[in-house]
């Protein structure tokens, strides 16, 4: 798999942009391809705290604005200089909360290791 495919399938990059594209599609009644491209552009801009927008943000519905604000607060990828707590940290936190809930239903002797995107989390990542 090449670098381009790795970026497309990266958990951090696709975390919120699809939701934003769906919100744009449903609220602005844009064609799906335009909603997807605008959602990716607005999502990357919000996560990197770049401030670029090809749409008038004031015309977006309140749920899209709230998602953009959340994306700005979370920030970009682990290696980026974007502000926020970083996407991977949020995803690991959510996965660990899910794991704690699952473990409460398992017997005490069961072994259940935390995974994120099909990969077992190492001790230094938790």
Q: Kindly give the confidence (pLDDT) of every residue in the chain, 126 residues in length, as a single tens digit, with 9 standing for 90 and above.
A: 455 544 444 565 566 777 888 888 888 878 888 888 888 888 878 877 788 888 888 888 898 888 888 888 887 777 777 777 887 788 888 888 988 898 888 888 888 787 777 788 777 665
Q: How far is CA 54 from CA 13, 18, 41, 60, in A?
A: 19, 17, 8, 12
Q: Give the whole-angstrom CA distance, residue 60 versus residue 7.
A: 27
Give the predicted TM-score (pTM) of the model.
Answer: 0.64
- Do residues 78 and 12 touch, judged by C-beta distance below 8 A? yes
pLDDT at 94: 87
């Amino acid at each position: 798999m090449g670098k381009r495919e790795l970026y497309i399938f990266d958990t951090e990059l696709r975390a919120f942009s699809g939701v934003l594209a769906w919100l744009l599609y449903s609220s602005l009644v844009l064609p799906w391809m335009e909603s997807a491209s605008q959602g990716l552009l607005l999502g990357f801009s919000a996560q990197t705290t770049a401030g670029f927008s090809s749409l008038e943000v004031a015309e977006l519905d309140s749920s899209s604005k709230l998602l953009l604000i959340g994306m700005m607060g979370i920030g970009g990828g682990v290696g980026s200089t974007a502000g926020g707590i970083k996407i991977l940290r949020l995803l690991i936190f959510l996965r660990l909360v899910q794991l704690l809930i699952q473990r409460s239903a398992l017997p005490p002797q069961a072994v259940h290791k935390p995974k994120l995107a099909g990969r077992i989390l190492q001790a230094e990542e938790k």
